[in-house]
Amino acid sequence: MCGIDLSRKMVEIARNHAVGIENIRFEIGNAADLPFEDNLLDFIVSTGSLHHWKSPVKVFDECYRVLRERKDGYTMGARTLPKAKLIS
C-alpha cells in the first residue's frame, strides 16, 4: 500500500501513524504526476482531495495510467466526509 500527499508534514504524520505496519509506504507526490509506473496499482482511493486538484482530468488520466486491467478506483470529495476526526 502506498499513500501520497503534496504536504511533507502530512506524509510525516502518516508515517508516524503507520509505525510497525508492514507493506505500507508514504511519499510526497502530486496526483497529477503520480510517481508510479504504468499498470502498477490494483486500486486507488482518494478522499478529501478532489477540490484541491487544479486539473481533475489530468489526475484521472494519471490514475488510469497507473491502474492495472480493471482500472478500479474510488474518490470522495471533502464535503461528503462525515464530521469525524480524520486522523486520530
Per-residue pLDDT, 3: 93
Nearest alpha carbon to residue 62 among 33, 29, 41: 33
Query: Which residue do the cell numbers 510526497 mark?
Result: 28
User: Is residue 80 left, alpha or beta, with left meaning phi > 0 and alpha meaning psi from -120 to 50?
Assistant: alpha
Contact (Cβ atoms closer than 8 angstroms) between residue 65 and residue 34: yes
Per-residue pLDDT, 53: 86
- Ranges of residues in the chain whose predicted pLDDT is under 70: 77-88
Query: Which residue do the cell numbers 492495472 mark?
Result: 68
Question: Hey, where are the domains in the chain?
Answer: 1-30, 36-83
The predicted model scores a pTM of 0.72
Per-residue pLDDT, 75: 72
Classify strands 41-47 and 67-76 as parallel, antiparallel or unpaired.
parallel
Read off the pLDDT of residues 19-40 as tens digits, 9 standing for 90 and up: 999 999 999 999 999 999 999 9
